[in-house]
Chains A and B, each alone.
Chain A
Amino acid sequence: MSEIWKTSRAWFERLGGLFHKAQREAELAAELESHLQLHVEDNLRAGMTREAARRDALAKLGGVEQTKERYRDRRGLPFLETALQDLRFSLRTLRKSPGFSFVAILVMALGIGATTALFTVVRSVLLKPLPFKDPERLIRLYEYSADDKFAYNVVSGGGFAEWRKESHSFSDLAILGEAQYGLSGVAGQLPERVMASNCSWNLFPMLGVEPALGRGFASADDQPSASATVILSWGLWKRRFGGDPAILNQTIHLDAKPYTVIGVMPSWFAYPEQSVQLWTPTYHEESPELMQAIDDHEFSVVGRLKPRVTEAQARTELSVIMRRLHDQHLDIPFVSKAANSRPLLEAMVGDARTALYVLLAATFCVLLIACSNVASLLVARGATRRRELAIRTALGGSRRRLLREHLTESFVLSLVGGAAGLLIAYGVIQWFVTTRQDMSRVEAIRLDGVAAAFGAGMILFCTFFAGATSSFSIKSHQILSSLQESSRTHSPGQSPVRLRKALLSLEVGLTVLLLISSGLLLKSYEQLRATHLGCITENVLTMHVDLPDAKYSQPTQRLAFFETLLDRLRTLPGIRAAGIATSVPGEGYGGDNGFTIAEHPPLPLDKTPYAIHRWADPGYFAALGIPFLRGQIFDKNQRLEKASEVIISESFARQYFGAEEPLGKHLLTLGRKPQKIVGVVGDTRHRVWERPQPIMYFPLYSGIRERTTLAIRSTSDVTSFALPVQRIVEQLDPELPVSDVLTMGQVIGQSTLDANFEATLLLAFAGLSLLLASVGLFGVLSYIVAQRTPEIGIRLALGAQRGALLRLTLLDGLKPAGVGLALGLAGAAAATRMISSLLYGVAPLDATVFVAVTTLLLAVAGIACLLPAWRASRVDPVIALRYE
């Protein structure tokens, strides 16, 4: 015990020995001096001469300096002391060049910040397990569509029922459907549309999640005959119901029908999507016919594998069941022949994966560039300090010590930069989470301990990369030779310059890689923006109007509403046109129908064609400026059960009629009477990046029970009509929610959001690295010129032409840039293949992008080199020769 106490006390004292150095040093000197004096006096008394007495005393002591050195070793903590000394030294040198330090720290902060932020996103979204019980046994199940077009198609209610009945691979299987409800307002609240999910009662138990409040669905709730129940999301409960627990067992109105609230989910729970605000039981919500149909693909299915069953075994089993179902119903088209599956995590993050990895790779490139720049700056500084270093080496400062100084210096830079970088990362993540609410699992993104550890790792990485790389220039023989150099500061020795040029080539190469990748993404984004949807997009405003079934149960009621609404809108001053359809271009697929052409010979069942369906009012085409190519719009009598006409799109006509005249022919769709083709309109795209597909338009005035989109077009700023239009809707039905009020530009913007986001981010990275690389070029060349000023002076004095000198210096800087460019182009050619899935209408080896990047880089490199080169050519030989 006393030993431990003694030792720790001694350590504490030694730690204290690190401070008040001067005072302690003085005291030691005084003590030794008094020692010597005492000894000398004794010696004098013994009869020695003063000189001999002193000499003897010193000899007995073993030298004053040696004693002091041994004493110091004991006084402080030598290793800590040198570290502190290095640190102080670095801080002093960094303070002496604030410009350099600021740039280096900024560069490190941006590099480390961006990399840490992206790492956090990637880890949270792609690598963290789902927050469910045994998430690795959860898989998402799909039908593999019979025509091979959709490898991961959603599942039919009948298919699911069959799987559930026949399969043995799963401990449980759950089904989910998408839904939207109009949530009625109470006590003065506005009605609102909420995204919802209907799910079978066993979904929550299967995921291992329990409601935070109340209970989950019971199997009794999940039946057509049950009374209506709903479970709220935590967010909706807080926002709309003030977080009041008394909401349990209360009734709320969805689409004007009463639902009993039975539970509230925990705040973290966001499945299937962040935007889902409430859950209802599938079998209660959907018609029994839909739940039994085997050719109507509407649902998501999730299963929990039994222990020791592999995903492949389960998939095979479901495929066998699917195939049997297909063979049993050869009379029904669109029954799948196989099943498909992927882990639930993969299904949820799906498309984000490539983009995120690309961004992560990009940030890492920026970090490497940042490190190279700092390393290069350190080399430059090291080179100007060569003589100082050489002297210190000769005096016994070891190479190790010099290496340590470089490392300490880059450590200080990385540490300060890293700390700032973590702040940046925090900001970036906050920003990312708010901008990308649409991305799945965005709620899991958090800057946690692992991310902080990653940041710390990045700091160490930067320390070693920058510190060690820059130390390659320290070679002992060169240090010695620099002492032998004449006092004239002639050529600086080749090694540091060569190293800096190599670093520069690396930087330029990575920059080119980033520039090309972002160029390609940007070009595909532009391509997307420029894609013609097939309709007018200027001054068009769209909004969703959804008539609740309860209040508008009769087709006549719906018809009356649509007609009154459109009449009123069309008389609104400033409105050029208004129309209603089930989906407007750019808004999404929206559903399809199989059909046959009555006048054509019958096709085998599994060859039955299908096309996207839309319901539109007669004014819709004019409202959106979709051109009429042939025939006419729906006749005035096309209302309710009299509706029997259809309008087809251009590609529909081309694909199924060829040269034949489509007008007057009839389409047969399931469960409807023959529909006569009365017109052909221009193609539109349902997604900007998808090719136009065949579309058939049915009369909206048949009183169709579907979600609808209202579109109005105005002469001037269309957004100013948003309020008047909503007021008109309110006059017609105060409880009717209007949602997603967007201009056509915004509709397109939403579907190109991802592309825009990735392109912008990558471009920002590329711009940053271009800046860094040009700063690097400028720095290296300025340095070379400064070092060679005397040489240039001599050349000029000997009659060299200034023009030739300019060329020479310029080439000196452009050469490493050229090497980097070649490296970058080669790297990009290989790397861009990996981002091909993110590209639209642009080849990975797009010539314009490659040429543009090459030109841009050469131009920037040229400008960065021009100033130092010009300076070199302006050197005054007299001054240069005097230069010391």
Chain B
Amino acid sequence: MGDKADVWQGTLALMILKTLETLGPLHGYGIARRIEQTSGDLLSLNYGTLYPALLKLEQEGSIESAWGVSDNNRKAKYYKLTSAGRRQLEREARDWRQAQAILAKFLSATEPST
């Protein structure tokens, strides 16, 4: 509640959904790599934290998983967006942009006086 951790959880979930939308079905490692690539050196991502987030999204019905074979012939669990997940992504992306706008206004409008 009202914690940085929650913000991070929400943000991570949104990143996963967006990644899956952009790239289609992908395994956990692939998602992690992708997010890391995109964020560059701005964020350090512990890959392990991704899995509980994936599980949560799956439990909520936003994504689903199935075992498949990777490009280099390795068995891996692939995740893909469900239609409910697609709707959730839309909604959350919109909300996020709005929140971002508000906060940006906040931080710029009232620069710390000291």
Contacts and interface: CB of A to CB of B under 8 A. Distances in A.
A and B touch in the complex (CB under 8 A): yes
23 contacts: A6-B60, A13-B59, A14-B59, A28-B51, A30-B75, A31-B28, A31-B76, A34-B27, A34-B70, A34-B75, A34-B76, A35-B27, A35-B28, A60-B32, A61-B46, A61-B48, A62-B46, A62-B49, A63-B48, A70-B52, A71-B52, A74-B55, A75-B55
Nearest to A39: B29
B38 interface: no
A9 B61 contact: yes
Which interface residue of B30, B33, B47 has the most chain A CB atoms within 10 A? Answer: B47
B77 interface: yes
A10 B27 contact: no
Interface string A227-258: 00000000000000000000000000000000
Interface in A22-47: 27-28, 30-32, 34-35, 37-39, 41-42
A66 B49 CA distance: 9
Contacts of A74: 52, 55-56, 59
B72 interface: yes
Contacts of A42: 33
Contacts of B4: none
Contacts of B46: 60-62
A715 interface: no
Nearest to B28: A35
A28 B55 CA distance: 10
Nearest to A11: B59
Which interface residue of B30, B32, B60 has the most chain A CB atoms within 10 A? Answer: B60
Contacts of A28: 51
Contact of A41 (B28, B48, B62, B72): B72
* Secondary structure class of chain B's binding surface, majority of residues: helix
Contacts, number: 75
B97 interface: no
Interface string B21-58: 00000011110110000000000001111011001101
A13 B98 CA distance: 32
Interface residues of A, number: 29
Contacts of A62: 46-49
B74 interface: yes
B33 A37 contact: no
Contacts of A313: none
Interface in B58-105: 58-62, 70, 72, 74-77
Given A61-B46, A70-B48, A73-B52, A34 B59 contact: no
Interface string A585-617: 000000000000000000000000000000000
Contact of A67 (B51, B75, B76): B51
A67 B54 CA distance: 12
A30 B65 CA distance: 14
Interface of A: 6-7, 9-10, 13-14, 27-28, 30-32, 34-35, 37-39, 41-42, 60-63, 66-67, 70-71, 73-75
A10 B59 contact: yes
A10 B27 CA distance: 21
A61 B52 contact: no
A42 B29 CA distance: 11
Given A31-B28, A62-B49, A70-B49, A38 B60 contact: no
Nearest to B53: A74
Contacts of B76: 31, 34-35, 38
A28 to B, nearest CB: 8
Contacts of B47: 35, 39, 60-62
Contacts of A34: 27, 29, 70, 74-77
Contacts of B74: 34, 37-38, 41
A61 B32 CA distance: 10
A63 B46 CA distance: 10
Contacts of A61: 46-48
A63 B28 CA distance: 15
A882 to B, nearest CB: 52
Nearest to B72: A41
Nearest to A60: B47
A298 to B, nearest CB: 78
Given A35-B28, A35-B32, 16 more contacts: A7-B60, A10-B59, A13-B59, A30-B77, A31-B28, A34-B27, A34-B29, A34-B75, A38-B27, A38-B70, A39-B47, A41-B74, A60-B47, A62-B47, A70-B51, A74-B56
Which interface residue of B48, B59, B72 has the most chain A CB atoms within 10 A? Answer: B48
Contacts of A35: 27-29, 32, 47, 76
Across the A-B interface, the 5 shortest Cβ-Cβ residue pairs: A67-B48, A62-B48, A13-B59, A62-B46, A10-B59
Contacts of A63: 48
A63 B58 CA distance: 23
A9 B30 CA distance: 27
A813 B75 CA distance: 68
Contact of A38 (B29, B52, B56): B29
Contacts of B55: 71, 74-75
Contacts of A41: 72, 74
A13 B59 CA distance: 6
A263 to B, nearest CB: 67
A792 to B, nearest CB: 57
Contacts of A39: 29, 47
B81 to A, nearest CB: 15
Contacts of A7: 60
Contacts of B29: 34-35, 38-39
Contacts of B72: 41
Nearest to A73: B52
Which interface residue of A14, A62, A73 has the most chain B CB atoms within 10 A? Answer: A62
Nearest to B75: A34
Nearest to B30: A38
Contacts of B58: 13
Nearest to B76: A34
Contacts of A67: 48-49, 51
Nearest to B44: A60
B77 A31 contact: yes
A9 B82 CA distance: 15
Contacts of B62: 6
A10 B75 contact: no
Contact of B56 (A10, A30, A32): A10
A60 B56 CA distance: 21
A67 B52 CA distance: 8
A70 B76 CA distance: 20
Contacts of A31: 28, 51, 76-77
Nearest to A17: B59
Contacts of B49: 62, 67, 70
Which interface residue of B30, B52, B59, B72 has the most chain A CB atoms within 10 A? Answer: B59
A14 B77 CA distance: 20
Contacts of B51: 28, 31-32, 67, 70-71
Contacts of A66: 48
A31 B29 CA distance: 9
Contacts of A37: 74
B59 A9 contact: yes
A611 to B, nearest CB: 88
A28 B29 CA distance: 13
A872 to B, nearest CB: 58
A326 B59 CA distance: 89
B103 to A, nearest CB: 23
A752 B28 CA distance: 84
